[in-house]
């Protein structure tokens, strides 16, 4: 692999209310997740079978980015749309998080953590009721302090959590020793909120590893895998794409541009699944990370063979 440094950044939450025992819930910072299929959801639907085909609840935008200077205030908004024929209620709260060393697994953080943004945010309103086909706007205000914490990147999750009523549970043939379990399903979203003050470095994301992965029983397709690390002190939001050149024919193919975000000091793994119709032969792959400035690109090259 040859790396060149050229200088010229969800969620569906299933609330399982187990009566008298436990309340279990999980969040994702990136997107809504179907807990059955483990695949991202583009739309969160209601429990009614007919409604699932035509309606849902949507949140926009999917990410909130502040870039306020120390000692200033900045305001952003987010819109919640209820495209169902049922009334719904949601509570809005903040949940700070950190990541494991691989940049994947979230862990809860307290608001007094150095990088927790929640302590500087105000939400209005913190509870909304949506009638069928109604939309409402939530306002998020960032009050960035004029001290050392005003000059660092910070982040949190904005959680929009459905409030559902718990009905009475009827248990046939119950005895004094009966322990009954019930499930109340709801929906929720986690929107990542970040603050990148103007002084932080956000374009120092480096490609540290690039390899070719052959198709096998486990992997459904040939793939190019990258590992990147944010060497800067700001949250890096980058565009990336892959160019393939067939070394026998010279034909060039450019794959679609995608986006990712990586927190300062963390690594992230990226995988490009190659199309099955690619002809066999030797290829040169060029991975490009674009920071939005033609003079700032990070690239890596790799030669491989498709058999």
Q: Which of 137-141, 175-179, 192-196, 246-250 has the lowest mean pLDDT?
A: 175-179
For range 65-72, the mean pLDDT: 97
Q: Is the pLDDT of residue 220 over 60?
A: yes
Q: How confident is the model at residue 98 (pLDDT cuts 50, 70, 90)?
A: confident
What pLDDT score was predicted for residue 38? 34
Q: Is the pLDDT of residue 214 over 90?
A: no
What pLDDT score was predicted for residue 257? 84
* CATH superfamily, domain at 205-306: Immunoglobulins (2.60.40.10)
For range 262-286, the mean pLDDT: 90
Q: Is the pLDDT of residue 61 over 80?
A: yes
Q: What percent of the chain has pLDDT over 70?
A: 76
Mean residue pLDDT of the chain comes to: 79
What pLDDT score was predicted for residue 26? 31
What pLDDT score was predicted for residue 68? 97
For range 24-37, the mean pLDDT: 32
Q: How confident is the model at residue 6 (pLDDT cuts 50, 70, 90)?
A: very low
For range 163-170, the mean pLDDT: 75
The domains spanning 9-195 and 205-306 adopt the same CATH topology: yes
For range 287-297, the mean pLDDT: 81
Each residue of 225-258: pLDDT tens digit? 999 999 999 999 889 999 999 999 999 999 878 8
What pLDDT score was predicted for residue 217? 57
Q: What percent of the chain has pLDDT over 90?
A: 50
The four Cα atoms 49, 137, 14, 85 give a dihedral, to 10 degrees, of: -20
> Higher confidence at residue 172 or residue 62?
62
Q: Where are the domains of the chain?
A: 9-195, 205-306
Q: Tell the CATH topology of 9-195.
A: Immunoglobulin-like (2.60.40)
Each residue of 109-164: pLDDT tens digit? 888 888 999 999 999 999 999 999 999 999 999 999 999 999 999 999 999 999 98
């Amino acid at each position: 692999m040859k790396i060149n440094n050229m200088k010229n950044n969800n969620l569906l939450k299933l609330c399982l209310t187990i009566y008298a025992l436990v309340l279990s819930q999980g969040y994702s910072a990136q997107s809504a997740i179907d807990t059955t299929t483990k695949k991202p959801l583009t739309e969160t639907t209601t429990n009614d079978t007919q409604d699932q085909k035509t309606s849902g609840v949507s949140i926009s935008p999917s990410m909130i980015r502040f870039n306020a200077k120390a000692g200033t205030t900045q305001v952003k908004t987010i819109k919640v749309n209820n495209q169902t024929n049922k009334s719904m209620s949601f509570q809005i709260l903040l949940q700070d998080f950190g990541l494991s060393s691989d940049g994947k697994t979230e862990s809860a953080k307290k608001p007094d953590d150095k990088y927790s943004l929640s302590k500087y945010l105000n939400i209005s309103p913190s509870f909304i009721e949506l009638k069928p086909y109604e939309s409402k706007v939530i306002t998020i205000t960032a009050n960035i302090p004029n001290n050392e914490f005003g000059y660092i990147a910070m982040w949190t999750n904005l959680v929009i959590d459905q409030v559902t009523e718990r009905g009475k549970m009827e248990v046939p043939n119950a005895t004094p020793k009966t322990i009954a379990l019930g499930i109340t399903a709801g929906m929720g979203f986690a929107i990542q909120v970040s603050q990148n003050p103007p002084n932080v470095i956000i374009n120092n994301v480096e490609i540290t590893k690039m390899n070719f992965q052959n198709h096998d029983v486990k992997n459904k397709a040939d793939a190019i895998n990258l590992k990147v690390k944010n060497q800067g002190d700001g949250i890096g939001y980058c565009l990336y794409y892959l160019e393939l050149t067939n070394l026998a024919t010279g034909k060039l193919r450019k794959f679609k541009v995608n986006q990712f975000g990586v927190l300062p000091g963390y690594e992230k793994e990226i995988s490009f699944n190659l199309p099955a119709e690619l002809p066999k032969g030797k290829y040169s792959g060029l991975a490009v990370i674009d920071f939005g400035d033609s003079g700032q690109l990070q690239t890596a090259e790799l030669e491989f063979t498709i058999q």
